[in-house]
Amino acid sequence: MFVNYADQVEVVKLVAGKQVTSKVDIALYDSFAQSDNDAESVTKVVNNPLVSKTVIYTWNFNQALISKAKSVGVCGFLSKTLPAKELVEALIAVHQGKVVVSPAPTGSNPVGGTWPGREEGLSYREGEVIALITQGLSNAEIASAVYLSPNSVKSYIRSAYRKIGVTRRSQAVSWGMRHGFSPTTW
């Protein structure tokens, strides 16, 4: 994504759950399938002395989530649908001290993005729900984490189960583990 911007951006990958061990200007935090304890994870990144600024990279533009992130010191809330040029411009603005919130994406399958499960036919939200099931969350916990009603979560679960060919939660967890839905792969 940043190949054409190598003179402006250097990307260093960090596996989920691992500590930052060297100085970074901006941590681009991917919020895919993070549960409610995600606020704790984000706060740890924000408070890490090796991280100058933290930006959330997401499709979830719930106002409560944005406010919560800003309250712990997040400097940006950027859409995964942003073209590379706009993403780089936003990151540069954050680096210069601005707080940047990009416009919310529209539609259930944002164009240009990818997520675990997309290749298997899952929508972004279905993939996110399966990832949270794989983490062991209940339907109520999933609803709270992704700001949906419990009935909406059940609908996404039914739809995802049909697409991946499972009928029980234990089968969905097993499928998720086999298909890269463990948090360390995001």
> What's the pLDDT score for residue 89?
93
Over 50: is that where the pLDDT of 72 sits?
A: yes
62 backbone dihedrals φ, ψ, rounded to 5°: -65, 130
- How many other CB atoms sit within 10 Å of the CB of residue 145? 22
* Residue 174 resides in a domain: yes
- If one counts the domains in the chain, the total is 2
73, 54 Cβ separation under 8 angstroms: yes
Indicate whether 39 and 89 sit together in one domain: yes
The whole-model pTM stands at: 0.59
* Residue 33 resides in a domain: yes
Mean pLDDT across the chain: 81
Indicate whether 123 and 83 sit together in one domain: no
Over 90: is that where the pLDDT of 168 sits?
A: yes
90, 78 Cβ separation under 8 angstroms: yes
Percent of the chain with pLDDT over 70: 81
Indicate whether 8 and 93 sit together in one domain: yes
Indicate whether 73 and 7 sit together in one domain: yes
> What's the pLDDT score for residue 91?
93
> What's the pLDDT score for residue 92?
93
* Residue 129 resides in a domain: yes
Segment 102-129, tens digit of pLDDT: 887 665 545 456 677 877 888 888 988 9
129, 160 Cβ separation under 8 angstroms: yes
> What's the pLDDT score for residue 17?
59
Indicate whether 123 and 81 sit together in one domain: no
State which of 73, 101, 129 marks the end of a domain. 101
| Closest among 68, 70, 78, 89 to 9, alpha carbons compared | 89
* Residue 109 resides in a domain: no
Provide mean pLDDT across the span 135-139. 90
* Residue 64 resides in a domain: yes
Domain span at 62: 3-101
- Domain with residue 134: its CATH number is 1.10.10.10
> What's the pLDDT score for residue 150?
93
Helix H or strand E encompassing 159: helix 150-164
Segment 1-59, tens digit of pLDDT: 666 777 887 777 665 556 777 788 888 887 665 554 466 777 888 888 888 898 988 87
> What's the pLDDT score for residue 13?
67
The token pair at 119 is 């290749």
* Residue 52 resides in a domain: yes
CA gap 71, 65 in Å, rounded = 10
Over 90: is that where the pLDDT of 161 sits?
A: yes
Indicate whether 12 and 92 sit together in one domain: yes
